[in-house]
A and B are shown apart, each in its own frame.
Chain A
Amino acid sequence: MSLLEVKNLQVRVEEREILHGLSLTVNQGEVHAIMGPNGSGKSTLSHVIAGKPGYEVTGGEILFKGENLLEMSPDQRSAKGVFLAFQYPVEIPGVATMTFLRTALNAQRKARGESEFSTPDFLKKVREVAARLNIPQDMLRRGVNVGFSGGEKKRNEILQMALFEPSLCILDEMDSGLDIDALRVAADGVNALRSPDRAMVVITHYQRLLNYIVPDVVHVMSKGRVVKSGGKELALELEASGYAQFEDAA
């Protein structure tokens, strides 16, 4: 059984069809890259998998560990092991990062019927992960993402990924707004989380990110479909020739 199976997915946003029969299969332990020009539907795919409201699925299905993902609320999907690292993580003033992390982790554990973490155990775990990601303690006391730089926001997403231990991570344009140093730190954080039990879907516009997070499979999306799939060399090919050839193909 595959971890994630997207079959012939059709999605509308306000009467406009964005995904026209997209299929994608991701197995445990694999890292997939989804590349494509702006407007090809990459972010829509990530939002629909995570359960963001505002999208109407008009056809197809998404199975996660064999279960119908589309019937689950966003929080149920999260508890099942789906994690979306946001392209633009939101700022939540007044909610301390630590409080947020503990509430989220315990909500997921509770939903799975696991016991909640005690405060000392939780603090120990967060400190360990934060130290690995170069996240200073004072950042954890501040409001979620409030006043964080672009790089800090992305590191905060990776911190959550490390803490929640999801089985599927979707990284939506993780490289946007990051300089090369920040990108390297974030990519190192992601690479540390690669594991045979975990799959990743890396959505990106540029090949650059894939120098740091090397994928097993590369998909090219255009106009709401996957138009070509291949190995990591496909990304380099795209870098040289651009997306134009696929726009015609689609």
Chain B
Amino acid sequence: MNLALAKTETGRALSDAFAVARDRLPGAGGVADARRQAFDAYQRAGLPHRRIEDWKYTDLRVLMRDVLPLAAAPDAAALTRAGAALKLHAIAGVRRLVLVDGVFAPGLSQMADPEKGLGIRTLREVLEAGDSAPPAPLFAADTSDAMVALNSAMMTDGLVIEVADGAVLAKPLHIVHIASGAVPAAMFTRSLLRLGKAAGATLVESYIAAEGAKTYQVHDSLVVSIGDDARLDHVRLIEDSREAFNISSALVSLGAHAHFNTFGMTSGANVSRYQAVIAVAGEGSRVETNGVNLLNGRQHADTTLFLDHAVPNCSSREIFRAVVDDRGHSVFQGRIIVRPKAQKTDAKMMTRALLLSDQAEADNKPELEIFADDVTCGHGATTGALDESLLFYLRARGLSEKEAQALLIQAFVGEAIEQIASDGLRELAISAAERWLAARG
């Protein structure tokens, strides 16, 4: 049945795209074999559609109509356009790592003078190194998800970042994905981040487009391993153009006594799905995974989180907010699995959606699967409109309707944003929300 499903129009076109692109993809030998296996895995599963539970609300057979050709390496004009876009989203005091059309752009990046304990290579470099055995986590990522498998088959570039045991990076790393967008194209990127024991890092990921970018597709994945006693602060801001399609995955594993604070905001793209699979594999670890969808027009954004508690004495918190206007469609799926050994797990999830129009839609699906008997777990979900009495109070104090709504929306999403541990990262998220509100007029 799955094979049959893969042979939809889009599915067939993807097979063709892989066949055409195969010779251009970096890496030979073991890498090429692994790509083929990944593509086979993708083909077996097929393009995800609504009858696959995890993709119920994001049917790619409907939402991903076209298969775009693999993006060409950016030329000078594309890099110039990307550079201009970058200026608007540049953050002070970070180490910037830029991918333009899925290809690392050294001229826009800051690779020089790495801090002690920081190692950065490009994915292309790693794939082309000719190692008979590519770094294990590159391909060991979960292939049960068709889109991750597709990403494994097609990935062209990305960053491979290592933070040595005990190294705590003072400068945040900022990976910027820019679509130059002169012609419709697809980009496939993967980045790896490995934090050694007691290491610490901050990672910001931005997805943006150059002015006037045409339709494009982002297929990205981030594979993270956080060592024992290590800590990662992570913010992901999807501000792609309103014609973009963005499917990105984060595959994260935590060692013992590790801490992962992550926040994702989707305010851009036409169709997007951000899926995170977080494996809490070491005792005494903490995860805070929070996010916001800000949607209007006909945007569709899906945030899907799988939290897997495999060991005892860990905690997790998920706070998610969606604001949906016009005919926007927000999807939040949060599944927490507490395996039999994971006693004393403390896991909580709360998702709330704010609908600003009659035609806006929000699907909230919190799920708890608990197999241990001594745990504290809970979840909640609400959906509603802005409170009229609050709006009137603000308007009676001089705020216009839009200003009053904006203030209440900021307060609503603020409940998720304030979970970001670092002040600087919190400011980034607030700015992104303000950009969405300002564009709303």
Q: Residues on A close to B: CB < 8 A?
A: 50-53, 73-75, 77-79, 84, 86, 89-90, 92-95, 99-100, 103-105, 107-108, 111, 143, 160, 164
User: Given contacts A74-B392, A90-B389, is CB(A95)–CB(B398) below 8 Å?
Assistant: no
Q: List, in ascending order, chain B residues with CB within 8 A of A50's CB.
A: 396
Q: List, in ascending order, chain B residues with CB within 8 A of A94's CB.
A: 410-412, 414-415
Closest A residue, CB atoms, query B399 = A107
**Residues of B377-436 whose CB lies within 8 A of A:** 387-390, 392-401, 403-404, 407-408, 410-412, 414-415
Whether B397 lies near A160 (C-beta < 8 A) is yes
Q: List, in ascending order, chain B residues with CB within 8 A of A103's CB.
A: 399, 403, 407
Closest A residue, CB atoms, query B407 = A95
- Identify B398's interface contact among A52, A90, A164, CB under 8 A: A164
Whether B390 lies near A75 (C-beta < 8 A) is no
Whether B411 lies near A92 (C-beta < 8 A) is yes
Extra A-B contacts (4), CB below 8 Å, given A95-B411, A100-B407, A104-B397: A52-B392, A75-B400, A107-B403, A164-B397
A90 to B411, CA, bound (A): 14
Task: Tell me, rounded to whole Å, the shortest Cβ–Cβ distance linking B183 to chain A.
Answer: 43
Whether A78 lies near B395 (C-beta < 8 A) is yes
- Identify A75's interface contact among B395, B408, B414, B415, CB under 8 A: B395
Whether A84 lies near B395 (C-beta < 8 A) is no
A61 to B173, CA, bound (A): 63
Q: List, in ascending order, chain A residues with CB within 8 A of B396's CB.
A: 50-52, 74-75, 77-78, 84, 86
A104 to B404, CA, bound (A): 9
Task: Tell me, rounded to whole Å, the shortest Cβ–Cβ distance linking A206 to chain B.
Answer: 25
Q: List, in ascending order, chain A residues with CB within 8 A of B408's CB.
A: 92, 95
Task: Tell me, rounded to whole Å, the shortest Cβ–Cβ distance linking B82 to chain A.
Answer: 35
Q: List, in ascending order, chain B residues with CB within 8 A of A107's CB.
A: 397-400, 403
Whether B395 lies near A73 (C-beta < 8 A) is yes
Task: Tell me, rounded to whole Å, the shortest Cβ–Cβ distance linking A141 to chain B.
Answer: 14
Closest B residue, CB atoms, query A96 = B411
- Identify A92's interface contact among B388, B390, B398, B401, CB under 8 A: B390
Task: Tell me, rounded to whole Å, the shortest Cβ–Cβ distance linking B39 to chain A.
Answer: 47
Q: List, in ascending order, chain A residues with CB within 8 A of B388's CB.
A: 53
Q: List, in ascending order, chain B residues with CB within 8 A of A53's CB.
A: 388, 392
Task: Tell me, rounded to whole Å, the shortest Cβ–Cβ distance linking A155 to chain B.
Answer: 16
Whether B393 lies near A90 (C-beta < 8 A) is yes
Q: List, in ascending order, chain A residues with CB within 8 A of B415's CB.
A: 94
A61 to B407, CA, bound (A): 32
Closest A residue, CB atoms, query B389 = A90
Whether B390 lies near A90 (C-beta < 8 A) is yes
A160 to B394, CA, bound (A): 12
The 9 closest A-B pairs by CB, nearest first: A94-B411, A108-B398, A74-B395, A104-B397, A78-B398, A107-B398, A94-B414, A95-B411, A90-B393
A28 to B200, CA, bound (A): 65
- Identify A104's interface contact among B387, B398, B410, CB under 8 A: B398
Closest A residue, CB atoms, query B406 = A103
Task: Tell me, rounded to whole Å, the shortest Cβ–Cβ distance linking B295 to chain A.
Answer: 20
Q: List, in ascending order, chain A residues with CB within 8 A of B407's CB.
A: 95, 99-100, 103
Contact sample, A vs B, 23 pairs, CB 8 Å cutoff:
A52-B392, A53-B388, A73-B395, A73-B400, A74-B392, A74-B396, A77-B396, A78-B395, A78-B397, A86-B393, A86-B396, A90-B387, A90-B390, A92-B393, A92-B394, A93-B411, A95-B411, A103-B403, A103-B407, A107-B399, A108-B397, A111-B398, A164-B397
Q: List, in ascending order, chain B residues with CB within 8 A of A104's CB.
A: 394, 397-399
Task: Tell me, rounded to whole Å, the shortest Cβ–Cβ distance linking B105 to chain A.
Answer: 39
Q: List, in ascending order, chain B residues with CB within 8 A of A74's CB.
A: 392, 395-396
Q: List, in ascending order, chain B residues with CB within 8 A of A100's CB.
A: 394, 397, 407
Per-position binary interface string of chain B over residues 235-273, scored 1 when its CB falls under 8 Å from any chain A CB and 0 otherwise:
000000000000000000000000000000000000000
Task: Tell me, rounded to whole Å, the shortest Cβ–Cβ distance linking B364 to chain A.
Answer: 20
A160 to B398, CA, bound (A): 11
A237 to B403, CA, bound (A): 46
A70 to B322, CA, bound (A): 36
